[in-house]
Amino acid sequence: MDKTKILDAACEHFRALVSEQLDRAEKMKNREVVDFAALDRVVIGFCGGDGIGPIITRESMRVLETLLADKIAAGKVELRPIEGLTIENRLAVGKAIPDDTLAEIKKCHVILKGPTETPHGTGMESANVAMRRELDLYANVRPVSVPEEGIDWTFFRENTEGEYVLGSRGFDVPGTLAFDFKVTTDEGTRRIARAAFEHAKKTGKTSVAIVTKANIMKKTDAKFSAICHEVAADYPGITAEDWYIDIMTANLINEQRRASFQVFVLPNLYGDIITDEAAQIGGGVGTAGSANIGDRYAMFEAIHGSAPRMIERGCGEYANPTSIMRACVLMLNHIGFTAEASRLSAALDKCSTGEGRVVMTGRPDGATAAQFADAVMKVM
């Protein structure tokens, strides 16, 4: 082992990363914000993705075609399928998002995206991570509601930084050790904190939980907490409380404590983990939607994966589209179609747990995705 050569290589590698992240932090100061209320036409792109993705996305598009028929006919909404975000295409060109596909995505205002598979052993970046970076979708917003238990949570996960921004660009000394890097910027933290507190203010919430591991991660997480408290000072009447991620994961399953939480703001990795726990409490990851929001673009998706085993068993058509249709509700609210969002949400409730429940098993003994969509359209 030539220690000097390793140190020189590590310093050069880290220097390049720091330079890149300084440039990224500077770009965040110049933000372009889209006002959907001022648009003559909203373009909604549909990316099917992998596995069951094209199936559940197809059914969501059918539902939206019915729900938004008047707006589509009037030219106020365009539903635009986008090809190319498949694992086969990504492997063929060696990119998480092929250039031509990304160009088409950027012609839309919002994207409804099916789950995508990240190829193992190739070093290729996740398509989700790449899309969040390329479109600067800094806020991952996941609501969880269980009214009978008093649960009404909204999670604001920082979506473009933390361990994920450089997740495939660590430094490895073969046979000895490896480093990965975590990045927290002032502006990146400030904007996710602002989004969380603005949501709390608009929805009448009185508390925001700031979730970190600042007692251990004394540079990155401590910065995140401190900036969140700076932002909190602009929102009198809303309490900001610090929580460590480990105890918060326990509190979410504490039936005597969990209903007291309202809004959460937290760094990327912790948010990725704890929102799956929250979704499971709220009915399962197969029924939850997710919003990825930036100032100019937004992407909405199911939080589950592409279910390749269902495809292998020939059961793809029996996939439950509830999750991506819940994402449609989030999307409709985001673009200002609140009445349509309420209609779809009520229809999903009826077809998932209400009187008109459609039994989805993921197998031929249950309903197909198309049958579920038909039932939703019938009652919405």
pLDDT in tens, 127-159: 888 898 899 999 999 989 888 899 999 999 999
Of 91, 100, 155, nearest to 123 (Cα)?
91
Give dist(CA 355, CA 375) in Å, integer: 12
If pLDDT is split at 50, 70 and 90, which confidence band does 282 have? Answer: confident
Give dist(CA 281, CA 303) in Å, integer: 14
pTM, rounded to two decimals: 0.84
If pLDDT is split at 50, 70 and 90, which confidence band does 162 have? Answer: very high
pLDDT of residue 37: 77
Q: Examine the pLDDT at 288 and tell me if it is beyond 90.
A: no
Q: Examine the pLDDT at 269 and tell me if it is beyond 90.
A: yes
Q: Examine the pLDDT at 168 and tell me if it is beyond 80.
A: no
- Give 120-123 contacts, CB < 8 A, sequence gap 24+: 122/91, 123/168
pLDDT of residue 42: 96
Q: Cα separations (Å) of 59 from 63, 83, 136? A: 6, 16, 28
Q: Examine the pLDDT at 183 and tell me if it is beyond 90.
A: yes
The sign of the dihedral angle between the CA atoms of 210, 212, 218, 224 is negative
Q: Examine the pLDDT at 286 and tell me if it is beyond 70.
A: no
pLDDT of residue 302: 86
Domain regions of the chain by residue span: 34-137+294-380, 146-157+176-283
Kindly indicate whether the domain formed by 146-157+176-283 is annotated with CATH number 3.40.50.2300: yes
The CATH class that applies to domain 34-137+294-380 reads: alpha beta
**What share of the chain has pLDDT > 90, as a percent?**
80
Give dist(CA 171, CA 7) in Å, integer: 11
Q: Using alpha carbons only, give the angle 80, 82, 85 rounded to the nearest 5 degrees.
A: 155
Burial of 312 (0-12, 13-18, 19+ CB in 10 A): exposed
pLDDT of residue 125: 81
3-state secondary structure of 188: helix
3-state secondary structure of 362: coil
Give dist(CA 156, CA 293) in Å, integer: 10
